Amino acid sequence: MSTTRKKVLKTVAGILIFLFLLTTIINLLGPLFRPKGQDFDGWQYFYAEDKNSLNAVMIGSSAIYRFYVPAQAYEEQGFTSCMISQSCQNIKAVPYIMEEAIKTQKVDLFVVETRQVVVDLVQDPKKAKEREEKENYYLSIVTSGMKQSLTRAKLIHELLIPDEENNELEWQVPLLKYHYKAFEGAGIRLPKHKQIIMTLADKDKQDGIDIAQRFEALGYKIYASRGTAKVLKENGVHAIQVNKIGQEAPTLLDLILEHKIDLVIDTPENGIERAKDGFLIRRYAIETGVHCLTSLDTAHALISSLEHAFNNQELSIVDIAKIDNRGNN
């Protein structure tokens, strides 16, 4: 083999090794830059399970997480299970979810809920079109929190609908996605109604004051649960107290279901009843397309980006000579 050919092969090998290492590093670092509180609950719970400890995995749409309780199944039937379900889950995602699941679990049974397939078949064309327009949003739910792997890459490649706001490369390489415009790229576009809900755990209430003040300064109306509203009002925020779930209407859920809210900031609270309320708020927010943040770090990053966008608005040039005394052009 000639010296020149050896040099070329050595150079090519070096480039390939460099690209492999670069890709590996980017994929490892990407999740670290993902805003906290953005991961899909299902994968978090699944990965937390001990290896080969699950008998069954439940896959499907909201009917799974609404009506199935793994703890109750274990208590009454003695088998262990986990849910990997989400609102409007695409049936085409199921094989990839199964492929990911069997990497760490010797599952005896997969239960696939197919209600969404029936809904897609019978719904009117207008609603079908609306569903299609949200397909990337639903894909972002199931892929967020999923470990970087060939399985995840194949899932994204199969189901992503590329457009000017959804680039496959950014989906495949999280580090490219989670920068200043990460919120907009993930579909969080505020404002629409300029109304948000805040329900904060006791440990987060003081830290949430600054965030609430900054949202209010940008013209947002803030609805809050009783405890959160009390703290915010004491610190100068004009928060509107709303009843919690199960109390007299209107409740926090009513506001979400009436599509009057742009954003929910809900940090998890201790206690069975409070945790249940928080779970319902987050799930109904996802179901109706309302963005829900469960971390003040993420909320802080979002308000900072909104302030930046507000302070850097494009300015139009006005000829003051053409403005009359009443301030009209």
Q: What is the pLDDT of residues 130-148, one digit of tens each?
A: 767 778 888 888 887 788 8
> Where are the domains positioned within the chain?
41-178, 195-311
Summarize the confidence of residues 28-42 as an average pLDDT.
51
* pLDDT tens digits along 302-320: 887 777 666 655 434 333 3
Before 95, cis peptide (omega within 30)?
no
Task: Round the average pLDDT of the chain to a whole number and report it.
Answer: 76
Q: Which CATH superfamily is domain 195-311 in?
A: Methylglyoxal synthase-like domain (3.40.50.1380)
Residue 148 near residue 31, CB atoms below 8 Å = yes
Judged by average pLDDT, the poorest of 45-49, 218-222, 255-259 is 255-259
Contacts with 84 (C-beta within 8 Å, 6 or more apart), sequence order: 42, 43, 46, 57, 58, 59, 97, 101, 142
